[in-house]
Amino acid sequence: MVDGVPDPTGALDTLGRELLAELVAIPSQSGEEADAAAHLAGFFAEHGREASIDDAGNVRAPGDESVLLTSHVDTVPGQIPVRVEDGDEELGVDGPVLWGRGSVDATGPLVAMAVAAVETGVSFVGVVGEETDSRGARHLIEARDAPEAVINGEPSGWDAITLGYRGIVGGEYAVSTAASHGARPDANAIDHATAWWERVRDAVDAANEDVEPGGFDTITATATSIDGGLSDDGSTVAASMATRFRVPPSETPESVRELVDDCRREGGVSWGQSIPPLVASPRSTPAAALRKGIRDAGGEPTHLHKTGTADANLYADAWDVPVVTYGPGDAALDHAPDERLPLSEFDRAVTVLTTACEGLTD
């Protein structure tokens, strides 16, 4: 029984399920992870493991360095009443389903890893800020030595392993022009910004011409915000546009920046931090260990390439070790208003991770 979480099925009857419901019930959007991190650290302490909160806010439970289990504590904004329902016709599930923000992305994978780490003694880190700037993962890379292997926690489904993610690079375009009468034909800053974005979209479309539309091998251009207008003193018109670009393995953040910069006629682009794409080998030791765990649990493992970006990309780029991603949950429910996780899938993922960690630490 978890306080404040309706559970007419009585399904929250194991330590893992209880911890999952407790953490889903604690608001933990990016920048506000402290309460959830403290609760997670307490779980490790209760089970005889050293655990601490580092300078970035990450939960660190050192252990056997044969493998590092790591997922993120933070979630995206959005309130979903936390509850357990019996069955889910849409998901084709009989039995209890936990609803709540983060149940899939990525508190479900996070808690499955915490339980497996306690069971097997492997190293564990719950990182902060994955949904925004990956500050937790970036701090971790600087603050500790590389483990022998990494299993990163994101929803793949209990019987699938994610081997690939696109990278990401973001930038803000800014331009200003002298103010003039609206009857004049000269383009102002807002015109320049919209024209630049049209050129960028055309260039991205041309770069994607020979690949499957919207797939893993495409560059994706997204405008995330736009602002513009006359300055307070009336002297200039300014415009700015924040943008993000997903980077396929055929490209690099640098090559995408060059593509976008070539579209500039006026103004400039200020580029932020980037994350490179990742394609991991299916023959790596953690991939093989997870496949064994899935088969032992009665599943037939599959491999995924996902169009998003994860902290796994950073670990693979910084550490010369094998990195794969795994976790319970349907990724189609990431960030969704109906985010929910069948508890039977969570249980299977705990079993798979425990088997994989036992194999990696032999």
Active site residues: 74, 130
Could you give the angle at the alpha carbon of 31 between the alpha carbons of 65 and 141, nearest 5°? 30
What residues are paired with 122 via a beta bridge?
Answer: 64
Distance CA 354, CA 312 (A): 20
Q: What is the largest CA-CA distance in the chain?
A: 77
The answer to whether 326 touches 290, Cβ cutoff 8 Å, is yes
Whose structure tokens read 């990696």? 360
| Listed residue (76, 159, 64) closest to 357, CA to CA | 64
Which amino acid would we find at residue 201?
R
SS3 category, 253 = helix
Residues 6+ away with beta carbon under 8 Å from 16: 111, 112, 115, 346, 347, 350
Task: Give, in order, the Cα–Cα distances in Å from 263 to each of 222, 223, 228, 241.
Answer: 15, 15, 20, 14
| Count of helices and strands (H, E) across the chain | 9, 16
Q: Which residues contact 138 (CB under 8 A, 6 or more apart)?
A: 314
**Integer angstrom CA distances of residue 132 from 12, 31, 40:** 31, 9, 21
d(CA 134, CA 8): 37
Distance CA(180)–CA(203), nearest Å, equals 31
Tokens of residue 35, six digits: 């309460």
Sign of CA dihedral 306, 307, 311, 317: positive
> Helical H runs in 177-233?
189-207
